[in-house]
A and B are shown apart, each in its own frame.
Chain A
Amino acid sequence: MTHAVDIRGVSKVYGPAGAHTFALDRISLNVDKGEFVCLVGASGCGKTTLLNLVAGLDRPGAGEIEVQGRPALLFQEAALFPWLTAEKNIDLALRLRKVSKKERATRVDELLHTVRLDGFGDRRPHELSGGMRQRVALARALAQETQVLLMDEPFGALDAITRDLLHDEIERVWTETGVTVLFVTHNVREAVRLGDRVLVLSSRPGRVVAEFPINIARPRRLESPEVAAAASEVTDRLREEVRRHADDEDEA
């Protein structure tokens, strides 16, 4: 398989027959191994639905999804277990993969170092900041030894400076581990800052309506003119998509 993620003609319907709405309608996309692909779309484009399907949390109504290995999923809120310390959260991912106890201890330390949280292992989630929690979640996802990392607006709830640093951080982890990333966001700048490709999804039903390869050299900066120029192109396409729904208002 050349693709890490291969989505072919996937549909997902919600609601009872007759009154149903398409969350996703025959959506097809693929992500190369080691590629960083960002999905952007307005509300109702089924971004989260799509990630749930790829993560295997839900089954598609039609179509096929092939994923290399079992993917890890990062949520908007870190979704750490509040009763476990940072260390134990990471450890649980290893435990559920039946890694031996001895190996786990070393691996947890390595992973904490990967996200630069050495020394914070014994903190509980409520004793960490939002950005730190998200990094623990990243370490926990990496503990799954996954080849595919799915991210559902992981930085959406963070303040600007933290988000900026975490962009560098996720980019570094991606470079070091060679993991494939499928990243969902509503923030176009963020998508252009991070992605090798940016895909624009339509809303109700969700489909890929445009694809923008981003050939800006890394490391990129959120503020650079190149990123801004590419972002405005993507935004224009997105706004066109939003205008298309101007008449829907009565239905909603």
Chain B
Amino acid sequence: MPTTKTKPDPDVLDVELAGLDALDVPIAPAPSKARRIWAVAWPKLAAVGIFFLLWQSVVWVHWKPSYILPGPVPVLKELWHGVQSGALPKAAANTMQRAAIGYGIALLIGSTVGMAVARSKVLRTAIGSMITGLQTMPTIAWFPLAIVLFGLKESAILFVVILGAAPAIANGIITGVDHIPPVLLRAGRVLGARGLSTYRHVIIPACLPGYVAGLKQGWAFAWRSLLAGELLVIIAKKPSLGVRLELMHQQADYVAMVATMVTIFVIGVVVDSLFFARFERAIRGRWGLVDHAT
């Protein structure tokens, strides 16, 4: 028994809504690009500067003789020399290629297993805690088995890289799915999402924040495992950062050894900030998880 429908004055309502909207819209500050870059750049530059200063100070006080612990200047010179001669880029290229292949496979396995475990109660009960167990297992402990199984070959290194990275990625996706607000899943169902479309439109985008954290951690594990592998599994005639590190150690060329270490560190940081940190920031920005007040 609907009562007579008389419209509320539409024009007044429109104006009032528009007024309220104008007052309500959160104002996000938009600093200039140069200022944003500077805000990110100066703390990093300062940190690097302080680090070099501390390093140089240790050298200056002659805690160890300089042929054992070289200062930053000879190391940077050696680094430059290594880059120019092409030896360092060649070694880095081989190492990076292994990282890419190993991480790629770990991504595929970790994501698939992670999603399956996140969505299936039986699988979670069965192997959920095992994934965390795998993650806590030091990768170096896998090498004896890897060498027995695959020999001193590329595949032994990849095997361990995958074992290092895949559990972190799987755990990331599981955490991501676990933290999806139930109301979003219900909203998806009300809108008619079923089966695959639920994954495509709701579950996968909703789990991204946790997933990206897992991807980031997976990269760290992969890089660590890879370098451990290259130190242990030395493949003839294939230069790599790990091999170079070990070689310089044996030849007592400590300047080149430290220069290689710097390279390993820099690549790890650059890959993280170029891909993972950027991806993470983009997602946090989209979701509105960035606090503009700070």
Contact = CB atoms under 8 A, between A and B. Distances in A.
Interface stretch (B81-89, B119-127, B197-205, B270-278): B197-205
A116 B17 contact: yes
Given A83-B205, A219-B7, A165 B20 contact: yes
A93 interface: yes
Nearest to B192: A96
Nearest to B186: A57
Contacts of B286: 82-83, 124
Contacts of A126: 26, 287-288
A197 interface: yes
Contacts, number: 124
Nearest to A140: B191
A175 B13 CA distance: 14
Nearest to A116: B17
Contacts of B189: 57
Most buried by A among B6, B17, B202, B205: B17
Given A116-B17, A165-B13, A165-B20, A196 B288 contact: no
A88 B35 CA distance: 32
A131 interface: yes
A132 B23 CA distance: 11
A125 B288 contact: yes
Interface stretch (A8-16, A39-47, A102-110, A208-216): A208-216
A214 B288 contact: no
A153 to B, nearest CB: 13
User: Chain B: interface residue count, which band?
Assistant: 35 or more
Contacts of B9: 219
A97 interface: yes
B4 interface: yes
Given A128-B25, A129-B24, A216-B3, A81 B193 contact: no
A169 B17 CA distance: 9
Contacts of B283: 83
Contacts of A96: 191-193, 197, 201
Interface residues of A, number: 53
Interface stretch (A70-78, A235-243, A244-252): A70-78
B29 interface: no
A129 B191 contact: no
A161 B21 CA distance: 12
A101 interface: no
B108 interface: no
15 contacts: A57-B189, A81-B206, A84-B205, A92-B201, A93-B192, A96-B191, A96-B193, A127-B28, A140-B191, A144-B191, A144-B192, A168-B13, A196-B2, A217-B3, A218-B5
Given A83-B208, A92-B201, A169-B17, 12 more contacts: A75-B186, A81-B206, A82-B288, A83-B287, A93-B191, A120-B21, A123-B25, A127-B28, A129-B24, A196-B1, A217-B4, A218-B4
Interface of B: 1-10, 13-14, 16-18, 20-21, 24-26, 28, 183-184, 186-187, 189-193, 197, 201-202, 205-206, 208, 283, 286-288
